[in-house]
Amino acid sequence: MTNMRVVSGIKPTGNLHLGNYLGAVKQWVAMQDQILSQGGETMYFIADLHGLTEWIAPADLRANTIEMTATLVAAGIDPERSILFNQARVPQHSELSCLLNNVARVGWLNRMTQFKDKAGKNREGASVGLYDYPVLMAADVLLYNATHVPVGEDQKQHLELARDIATKFNADYETELFTLPAPLVSQAAPRIMSLRDAGAKMSKSNPSEQSVVKLIDSDEVIADKFRRAKTDPDLLPETWEELGSRPEARNLVTIFAALADRTTAEVVAEYAGKGFGQFKPALADLAVAKLGPIRDEMTRLLADQGAIDAILERGAERARELAAPLLRRAQEAMGL
Ligand code: ADP
Ligand code: NA
């Protein structure tokens, strides 16, 4: 088997929280370490062009790109061993997307469920960029001949489209230029719920401050949010299954397990017979121990935005070296 090249894009978001960390960032770090240890290559890009599909203030987009980069590096993405860059700095993404727009079919894009979800009733008022976003996404990975692309449930259809575009390009222009990227299915990422309402996802749009642990929260604030998290008065049972109808308890055990790199079954077994009066302080300590150093490193990095910019520029330089010859070959195949 040829070496794996994994390419993964991350939309720039600010105000990152524990759900983003455990559900996304920590997974990318684990993936990096696993792929690199197998002799593969990892590329991570901040998808700032994708950030434009819905209006965002320019200063916010810029700040989010910097914050996302600082978070990834603080959490363990190594810009020496992985190629870490922002999409806009590698113009070949846009150029290939422009070429692939002539390969993708309107009917294919019309079937994309994410566009329907995001545009909602206002389809006519949605940007063309939102509609065309899956073609840019195809360019993002085909540009590097990615062998594997990590995809969650919501992105499976887009990866399928990228494969269709690659297949049609290769057939239409009698070439074998593009590699068909395979989905990389990692172990299911935990879904973290609000600390005040376990029926809702932890999210930056959550109305209550107490319900969301932010990555920039101080140790005191992190601990306080966990100590005051909503729970029930019952003791922890012997097994994870017995927590079935206790959403708050399940959420806190899920968070504990994810932070400690243990299974939920192990965590429940350890605390069996104990109440949340004991469990929550232990979780607070664990969270401070795991999140505190990431926050400190993020803060250190964010104090020197020139250094973050230099990381992105160096990554973009490496990405352009890979992208430029492939784009040239695509142009040649098409007669340009
Ligand atoms: P938000 O819901 O706060 O707007 P985003 O939609 O920007 O977060 O999500 C960015 C990434 O973080 C995505 O990969 C998403 O799946 C992940 N993520 C967001 N919230 C959670 C959560 N509560 N639990 C697990 N993963 C999450
Ligand atoms: Na969201």
Q: Read off the CATH number of the domain in which 164 is found.
A: 3.40.50.620
Question: Which has more confidence, 122 or 225?
Answer: 225
For residue 262, the Cα-to-chain-centroid distance in whole angstroms is 21
- Indicate whether 224 pLDDT > 70: yes
Q: Residue positions in the annotated binding site for L-tryptophan?
A: 140
Ligand 1 pocket test, candidate residues 20, 151, 211, most atoms within 8 A of CB: 20
Ligand 1 and 87: CB distance under 6 A: no
State mean pLDDT over 227-251: 95
Residues 17 and 132 in one domain: yes
Q: Which ligand is nearest to the CA of 205?
A: 1
Show the tokens assigned to 37: 């240890």
Q: Read off the CATH number of the domain in which 227 is found.
A: 1.10.240.10
At a CB cut-off of 8 Å and minimum separation 6, what does 330 contact? 96, 99, 169, 177
- Indicate whether 103 pLDDT > 90: yes
Residue-range definition of the domain harbouring residue 253 = 209-300
Residues 70 and 139 in one domain: yes
Residues 233 and 147 in one domain: no
Residue 201 lies in a domain: no
State mean pLDDT over 20-41: 95
The residues that bridge with 5 in the sheet, in sequence order, are 41
Residues 325 and 248 in one domain: no
State mean pLDDT over 282-307: 97
State mean pLDDT over 92-110: 98
* 121 catalytic residue (yes or no): no
Rank 7-21, 91-105, 144-158, 192-206 by mean pLDDT and report only the highest. Answer: 91-105
Ligand 1 and 13: CB distance under 6 A: yes
Q: Which atom of ligand 1 is nearest to the CA of 17?
A: 3
* Catalytic residue (choose from 116, 118, 168, 225): 118
145's torsion region: left (phi>0), alpha (psi -120 to 50) or beta?
A: left
Residues 176 and 309 in one domain: yes
Residues 73 and 88 in one domain: yes
Ligand 1 and 20: CB distance under 6 A: yes
Coil vs helix vs strand at 41: strand
Q: Please tell me the predicted confidence (pLDDT) of residue 154.
A: 79
- What's at 94, amino acid-wise? S
For residue 324, the CA-to-ligand 1 centroid distance in Å is 33
8 Å CB contact between 242 and 212: no
Per-residue pLDDT band for 2 (boundaries 50, 70, 90) equals: low
* 118 catalytic residue (yes or no): yes
* 230 catalytic residue (yes or no): no
Q: Please tell me the predicted confidence (pLDDT) of residue 207.
A: 79
State mean pLDDT over 220-242: 96
Spatial distance between the Cα atoms of 266 and 257, rounded to a whole number of angstroms: 8
Name which of 11-20, 217-226, 262-271 the model is least confident about.
Answer: 11-20
Residues 117 and 42 in one domain: yes
Range list of H helices, the chain? 18-20, 26-37, 58-75, 92-100, 106-110, 113-119, 128-142, 156-172, 219-227, 247-260, 264-271, 276-302, 305-334
Residues 296 and 310 in one domain: no
Tally the domains of the chain. Answer: 2
For residue 17, the CA-to-ligand 1 centroid distance in Å is 8
Give, using CA atoms, the residue closest to atom 11 of ligand 1: 20
**Burial of 210: CB neighbours in 10 Å, binned 0-12, 13-18, 19+:** middle
At a CB cut-off of 8 Å and minimum separation 6, what does 132 contact? 97, 101, 109
Ligand 1 and 43: CB distance under 6 A: no
Q: Which atom of ligand 1 is nearest to the CA of 190?
A: 25
Residue 230 lies in a domain: yes
Ligand 1 and 202: CB distance under 6 A: yes
pLDDT, tens digit, 9 for 90 and up, residues 168-221: 999 999 999 999 999 997 777 899 999 999 999 999 888 788 999 999 999 999
Residue 98 lies in a domain: yes
Percent of the chain with pLDDT over 70: 99
Q: Please tell me the predicted confidence (pLDDT) of residue 206.
A: 85
Give, using CA atoms, the residue closest to atom 6 of ligand 1: 203
Distances (CA, A) of 247 to 92, 198, 201, 276, 281: 46, 6, 12, 13, 19
Within 10 angstroms of residue 200's Cβ, the number of other Cβ atoms is 14
Q: Please tell me the predicted confidence (pLDDT) of residue 26.
A: 94
Per-residue pLDDT band for 1 (boundaries 50, 70, 90) equals: low
Q: Please tell me the predicted confidence (pLDDT) of residue 190.
A: 93
Q: Residue positions in the annotated binding site for ATP?
A: 11-13, 19-20, 152-154, 192, 201-205
Spatial distance between the Cα atoms of 219 and 196, rounded to a whole number of angstroms: 19
- What's at 259, amino acid-wise? L
Q: Which atom of ligand 1 is nearest to the CA of 13?
A: 7
Spatial distance between the Cα atoms of 157 and 111, rounded to a whole number of angstroms: 9
Residues 149 and 231 in one domain: no
Name which of 91-95, 149-153, 275-279 the model is least confident about.
Answer: 149-153
Residue 199 lies in a domain: no
Residues 134 and 247 in one domain: no
ipTM: 0.92
Ligand 1 and 188: CB distance under 6 A: no
Percent of the chain with pLDDT over 90: 91
Q: Please tell me the predicted confidence (pLDDT) of residue 3.
A: 87
Name which of 32-36, 40-44, 119-123 the model is least confident about.
Answer: 119-123
Q: Please tell me the predicted confidence (pLDDT) of residue 8.
A: 95
Give, using CA atoms, the residue closest to atom 1 of ligand 1: 203
Show the tokens assigned to 254: 């899920």
Residue 148 phi, psi dihedral angles, 5° rounding: -140, 145
For residue 203, the CA-to-ligand 2 centroid distance in Å is 7
Q: Which atom of ligand 1 is nearest to the CA of 201?
A: 23
Residues 48 and 129 in one domain: yes
Residues 151 and 228 in one domain: no
Residue 10 phi, psi dihedral angles, 5° rounding: -130, 125
